[in-house]
Structure 1
Amino acid sequence: MAAFDTTRPAYGAAPVAGQFNGLFSKLVAQVAAWNHARVTRNALNALTDRELEDIGLVRGDIDDVANSH
């Protein structure tokens, strides 16, 4: 009697799935980083010039702060 093991994925199928998962996770990370920068930028723009000065910033620094990691 012959037995076949059919529980293994086809040759080359796993790397394709891994590449898709890697691409998807990179996309999610980029969207999350963009949203974090957007929220930071909006919060800093809501501050007055005096409040920005208290934390050592000027309006021109907001984009640099929001885009830094």
Structure 2
Amino acid sequence: MAAFDTPRTVSDSAILFGRIGAAICTVIGAIADWNDARITRNALSALSDRELEDIGLSRGEIDLIAQHKASF
């Protein structure tokens, strides 16, 4: 009986699939961030000016809050 044994190393296809997987994860993360910002923007936009004032915001700050760029 004969045995055929070859050492296996990381091939180029494995590296390619790893890069494709990382790219897919990046796209999914970007979509999730966009959706979170959209939900926040919609919720804050639905508030009246008085309600926004009660929580210390103005209508002009909604986009900043939705994009997490405001400092608290």
Partner of 1:68: 68
Superposition TM-score, scaled by structure 1 size = 0.87
How much does 1:14 deviate?
1.0
Give the TM-score normalised by the residue count of structure 2. Answer: 0.84
Q: 1:27, CA displacement in angstroms?
A: 0.1
1:34 partner amino acid: W
CA distance in 1 between partners of 2:9 and 2:28 (Å):
27
Q: State the shift of 1:5 in Å.
A: 4.5
Residue 45 of structure 2: aligned partner: 45
Cα distance per residue 1:31-57 (max 9 Å; x no partner):
000000000000000000000000000
Q: Which residue of 1 aligns with 2:4?
A: 3
Give the residue type in structure 1 aligned to 2:45: N
Q: What secondary structure, in the 3-state scheme, does the structure 2 residue paired with 1:22 have?
A: helix
Could you tell me which runs of 5 or more consecutive residues in structure 1 were left unpaired when the two chains were aligned. none
Moved runs in structure 1, 4+ residues, more than 3 A? none
Q: Identity, % of aligned pairs?
A: 44
Q: Distance in 2 between matches of 1:21 and 1:10?
A: 16
RMSD of equivalent CA atoms: 1.9
Structure 2: segments with no counterpart, 5+ residues: none
| Aligned length, in residue pairs | 68
Write the distance in 1 (CA, Å) between the matches of 2:16 and 2:32: 24
Q: CA deviation at 1:65?
A: 0.1
